[in-house]
A and B are shown apart, each in its own frame.
Chain A
Amino acid sequence: MKTAKEESSQVSSVTSAPQAEPAALPGADGAPVVELRGVSKTYPGGDVAAVDNMDLNIQEGEFFSILGSSGSGKTTTLRMIAGFEQPTKGNVLLDGIDATGVPPYRRDVNTVFQNYALFPHMKVEANVAYPLKMAGTPKGEIKPRVAEALERVSMTGFEKRLPHQLSGGQRQRVALARALIGRPRLLLLDEPLGALDLKLRENMLLVLKHLQREVGITFIYVTHDQGEALAMSDRLAVMNGGYVEQLASPTEIYDRPATSFVAGFIGKSNLLECSCTSGDKAQAGTMPLVLGEAPGEEKFTLSIRPETIVVGEDSRGLPNHYEAVVGDVLFLGHEREVMVDCGDQRLVVRAGQQIYSPGDPIEFGWSPDKAVIVKATGSWQQQQQSQDA
């Protein structure tokens, strides 16, 4: 347990950036709604841990997202909180009480599944009433509560339909109603919008956000879509290969990515392998760089967001100013993305509405404080482990 404690303090030291603390902390004992302590999960037959030594605190009323690509362990984390999987190591605490080994039906936690998991043989009302029925709610109470829950997700009038008679978005709403009707402390959403098309997804994002504010329930939202995660969350954890790469507020994660993985996964980023020459001067290949602060190490990676790079004559006064040649141009609708070849480095910059063709000369630059030094992917965790050992 000691090592877990140490680690969690390290995690917070890495992530203790200023952030909007969720307003509604419980007055009771202040224990987080969900706490993971050194949780690892290895599936039988698998040799790699799906989740590796994870620590997490989620506060009351928070909208917390777990963001990661396929196989990053985000769904496994969620399933351990829900109780569908048991951690091979470590503990899952709900409201400060150790819930490891507690079956899902004894947890005051509800899940919205990616494929909704509506019972196909039950009508909408029976589906929504199911949790109440299982909790032994008196019959007279069930009906009004079902009506209320359906109204909350604007599905009044669909009570008598079977799931297969509903559209994807409607099924999604029913699943939400079913998950919320028992007024759980915690709602888990497993890629709830993954199966919807873009238009519906945007609509449902608003519905979800609104609902969360209205009911005040803690949401844990698992997604691979960075847009969703950034838009919805109070805090988010970026996962990769079973590790949490960074845990912070959306703005923090976007502006100050901790690792090169986060920098590349969230939005676009130019990652430059640099070596320090002297003080705050460095060299990336043949490109000389001026840094905002002296780097701690000899070799490091620098992340520069394309939108922080100034293109054209405005860039002339900046400490980092370069003249280069346009490689390729991608037309993205609202703007143009230009690949520039500067020495032996290739960077992506945003050219706005300016028109460039391959081969054109281009000048660009950035102010040193816009470039962030990021740790190499995974090494951050590995360092921690070696420190523990």
Chain B
Amino acid sequence: MLITILLLQLSMIITIGKLSKQPIKNYKILIICSIIFSLIYTFNSFHISSGLNTLIYIIYLIILCKKLFQLTKKDLMFYIIFVYIIGILVDIILMLFINVTGIVNILNAKNEFIYRFLSTLMMLVFYIVICNNKKMIKIIQKFKNTVTKIKISYYEFIILMLIYFLLGLICINKIKETNVITFILFLSISVFLFSIYFINQNFKMITMKESMKILNKNNEFYIELIDQFRIIKHNLIGNLLSLKTVANRKEQEIIDDLIEKYSSMVKTPVEIKSLPPGLDGLIQAKLCNITIQNFNVLINNKIKSKIMDVISPHAYNELYETLNVVIDNAIEASEESNDKILKIDFIEKNDFLQLTITNSFSGMIDLEKLGEKNYTSKTHGHGLGIFSIFKKEEMKITNHIRNNMYQTIIKISKKNEE
């Protein structure tokens, strides 16, 4: 038992390392922990139920892998569960094979020691095959990328784990009674339940993508609307000028006043070409709302890709909502200040996008209340904008104030390339 569990541990961890393409940080820790845990596991197997022992084993695996590898929580859980499931499947296949073929009688396989030895040997072979097959590793990586994209709360995850563990326990018991049909039934039910869950998650993904399409259409609509608005105003000024030629002096003054008013509104602060595609309509629409004179706005765009192509639909939706709030706040705050400065920088790096909105402001800011519901530093605010954006999952938002300039930095990870 001691040797089998030791071999099993080592092979599982090495497999996790190969699948995640991560070297093991410290072999000494691995060997020492494996030996100690094997002793504990063997001792426990005589004193506590196999179910509880298995649970302890899984927790131990998680802690050890966290120490040995540099993986995110999701990736770590995926690899541990995947390798564990492979082990269980191999175990099941072996059990079925032995029982169906009648080898059980020849090998005296009911003897637990022989059975465990055979099972461990088979698992080792399987792990070796997976580790040395580059194609298989690639497929597993792709599968991991898909699965880890699924949004799941901690509660949902714990419930899933409990169901999986419970089924595992049932399977172990059923294997001992060699009741193959009941066992297959339980497997089928668990597969069915998991499928329903994954379909539900995919449905959410589809809804998100649809929502993103709508936002994109809105963005294009803004751009079209602004263009039409500019054309109409341009034509209106032309018509006013022609009216001026037939007007008397007093009427000419009235017309001049109208022309001046519309002329100042024809120019947009920035050219739409200088804005990142996917956000151009929204930003242009916001900037067109600036009605005061002497407003200094500067856009520095270094994003070459189309935004919705490089970030996930969920991230795009959140970014749109966030920018809607942040830019409104920035414009309102800078309009109320003496400097009236607004600068937006868009930067694209290898694995993330960064948007920096810098604006001047005036008046009092309560550093403790900023971000709380219903608190606003502006004359005409509601206090809900900043409160809502800090609940976003897909981005990291930080704020700084320096030299009386308020800066909001939004960082979004690009989606993994499939």
A joins B in a complex: no
Contacts from B to A (Cβ < 8 Å): none
**Residue positions of A touching B, CB distance < 8 A:** none
